[in-house]
Structure 1
């Protein structure tokens, strides 16, 4: 899932790679099925629906950094404002063979970090001011290496492609009534079938996206361990962030809820969301995976 220089890589996690590959096959099958149904029932509307979804995907992909920064109120900072943080990111980028991203600081009592941007050359990595106070230098380095791994793995592109069919289904679900009126033909039965199929496809594609997102987090955790060669630092950081999250007042977590999919740990109380509906794996599973990686690195 992640590859850097030969000095700090080790065997590929074939189990994780296989699960990601299988998820993509299932997403592709949903694509083929849904597009086939649309084209069969409403050949005249096929290109309109695909076009609308393409516009949404285009905006999501090319303006993701601006939208996330605006939503989180994160501010791009220059090197003279945060020289130590810039030096840390530059060192990690050298290890990961990445160009230097823009760096942002997000004012929030929720300790967290995120990455966004459509490609490594248009990336932004950000940290909240509270996480910089909470973590040690090694722990913060491990967290930021995790975020740079998302950049390295081009996860914005990955999730944009994965979400495309869900966008098409969502358009149909929310506009089926008006599409039926605009159709101008006696197609009520076909639109009812299309509405039901769209709901089913939206549910299945959303669950597959959540599954892919969780695998993406495992891959970024692994990437952090590769870059820093210190998985124990990320384990410590994840435990600290999770522990502090439970004590953050609910109103502050609600303020940043829109960016939960981007955060290293969602701003949620530990048991407030079933894992199957989460964008992230459970803390316990992430720690177990990192401990396995640590054993691999030590050769036993």
Structure 2
């Protein structure tokens, strides 16, 4: 019995996460087409065939650009909120939809899924927690700030995928037009490294065995800045309460490892072009 999670890729050019139990296979968002998704899954020795459903968090292109090809090939239901469905122009051949409502739990196979609203500039954006076989997983990206519902929903996660989108200084002096910068920095934009570090240092419960920071901007962020910011926040949180051992640049994703209170938590960065390792619980 196991739960397996792999972030196939995360960033402005595409987002998708694979979650598998012994009985159920789910694709969370569809930012990569069928061939690209299958290729990324093969790196983790997983197969796209046999996928049971696709879940859509919101209608922005980096989360749905591969949805058409995936839906037509896999012929599986698309779980999506009514407002998000209405915001997308659909191929008429795609008809298998299952509606969900933010705040209401539903199940697919042996996985219990709880969508909850997040502040982002989309029709009805949500993040998700998943529970199966006693394992809890959170996938939380695309939000401008961290409301109380997010803090509550991610407590107790064994694996947490969480946004750390941009460095504020890089964004301010970067090439984006000012109106785009305002959108990214707004309360319905994306989380900065500073905001994510504040969460990790003040509100994060530290329960996750695996913490994956995701949706890093390729233009307005740098992996080393994200690692340093998150590691410093976690270290401050642990100081005086736990024994910890941090090692940097371990493995292809450059993860840092934090050992605290007898267990080991691994910090990974989800990249745009290479999937994370397949995390198994």
Q: TM-score, normalised by structure 2?
A: 0.28
Q: Which has the higher contact order (CA 8 A, sep 6+)?
A: 1
User: Which protein is bigger by CA-based radius of gyration?
Assistant: 1
Q: Give the strand-richer structure, 1 or 2.
A: 2
